[in-house]
Structure 1
Amino acid sequence: MGSKGTTVESFPSHSLELRGHTSPQLYKRTNSLLFPQEDYNQLRPLSYPNTDVFLICFSVVNPASYHNVQEEWVPELKDCMPHVPYVLIGTQIDLRDDPKTLARLLYMKEKPLTYEHGVKLAKAIGAQCYLECSALTQKGLKAVFDEAILTIFHPKKKKKHCSKCHSCCLII
């Protein structure tokens, strides 16, 4: 899963009160960002237990990351956590029209991935849905986390829920 020089980072936990159920309930959301570093292949699955939803991300300006979703990430998640739903996220959408990025892709005989590419992959891997966002511009970012929360409570596919509480949202 190849990129060298990356690290595993943890982000602060946040409490979230959801209304609309029979009674308000408080849930803890923990975000962990896991990078595809070969050094962590054995350790990465140790962070998966109690995960309620996975956000599988790829860069729309990095076709290799798109292919890694189907070749590496989904098989790992299906093997380790087969009953946990996932949402597919296309990131860096702000770079889709960036001249320097387009020139780099052209030099490598590649193109940015389209929204349609993401939808097609989401269907192929059985993702709950496909969303796009930009951390730089914040476009679509709130929708990503809203969808993660909705997926926990209303997954589109039946899943067996093994944990007794909702405690983790994992970003990979």
Structure 2
Amino acid sequence: MSQKGSRANRGNTSLQEEFKVVIVGDGGCGKTSLLTMYTKGVFPKEYVPSVFDKTVVNSRYRGQQFRLHLYDTAGQEDYDRLRPLSYHGVNVVLICYDVLCPSSFDNVFIKWYPEVQHFCAGVPIILVGCKADLRQDKVLMKKLWSTGQNAVTYIQGEEARRKLNAVLYLECSAKYRENVDDLFREATKRALMATRELEKVRKRRSLCALL
């Protein structure tokens, strides 16, 4: 059944190549809104904390259809012991933060990157700056400045990508669907590239074993 308003469509995909995408980040940073806009074309009006939600959608890349298994994880500490179960068999990880919440950006280094490296080292990482549209919200910006903080800049995001050796940094606005489709198209691309590279390595090893 197709999801209206979205380029990601459900369907009969028995012959499609499948990839697992896990989305992590602090609670409330925008992960669920990102997924909901992509899969349903709807922006959630209320914040409802996720526990572990899985959605299966189709993604098209270079004229080919792929099946994405999207895992929305809980960012709260209460689920730290359960969340690692989501990493098994993952093809690409999206580490998200809120550009208007510096602590969520700090936690990319303190919590999320170390966790991802521990449970799925070598898997491609895409760093995602969520709620990019809120930088234009003067009221929220003034409120942030009043606490002595600043919004995380695009340059900071790019610097973080380099430090983490992530394959890509992308800023998104789920509310206005900016870069949302591009993000999951890139996730498909990176998962495909990593899978093909792994296949080449395994093939070379098999040939070496025969020799």
TM-score range, shorter chain: 0.7 to 0.9
Matches of 1:27 and 1:143 in 2, distance apart?
Answer: 15
Match of 1:35 among 70, 74, 86: 74
Question: How many pairs align?
Answer: 155
SS in 2 for 1:120: helix
- Residue of structure 1 aligned with 2:57, choices 14, 21, 28: 14
Q: Write out the 4+ residue segments of structure 1 that deviate beyond 2 Å after TM superposition.
A: 1-7, 15-20, 158-161
Q: Higher RCO, 1 or 2 (CA under 8 Å, sep at least 6)?
A: 1
Alignment deviations for residues 97-119 of structure 1 (CA, whole Å, 9 cap, x no partner): 20121011011111111110100
For 2:49, give the aligned amino acid: T
The DSSP-based 3-state class of the residue aligned with 1:119 is helix
Alignment of 1:152 with 2:191, yes or no, is yes
**TM-score computed with the length of structure 2 as normaliser:** 0.66
Match of 1:88 in 2: 127
C-alpha separation in 2, matches of 1:41 and 1:159: 29
* Residue 76 in structure 1 maps to residue 141 in structure 2: no
CA shift in 2, pair 1:27/1:142, >3 Å: closer
1:136 is aligned to 2:175: yes
Does the aligned pair in 1 maintain the 2:98–2:129 contact within 8 Å? Answer: yes
Segments of structure 2 that go 5 or more residues without pairing to the other structure are 1-24, 29-47, 201-211
Give the whole-Å Cα distance in 2 for the aligned partners of 1:35 and 1:93. Answer: 21
Superposition CA RMSD, Å: 2.5
Q: Distance in 2 between matches of 1:153 and 1:131?
A: 18
The Cα of 1:7 is off from its aligned counterpart by 3.0
The corresponding residue for 1:167 is: none
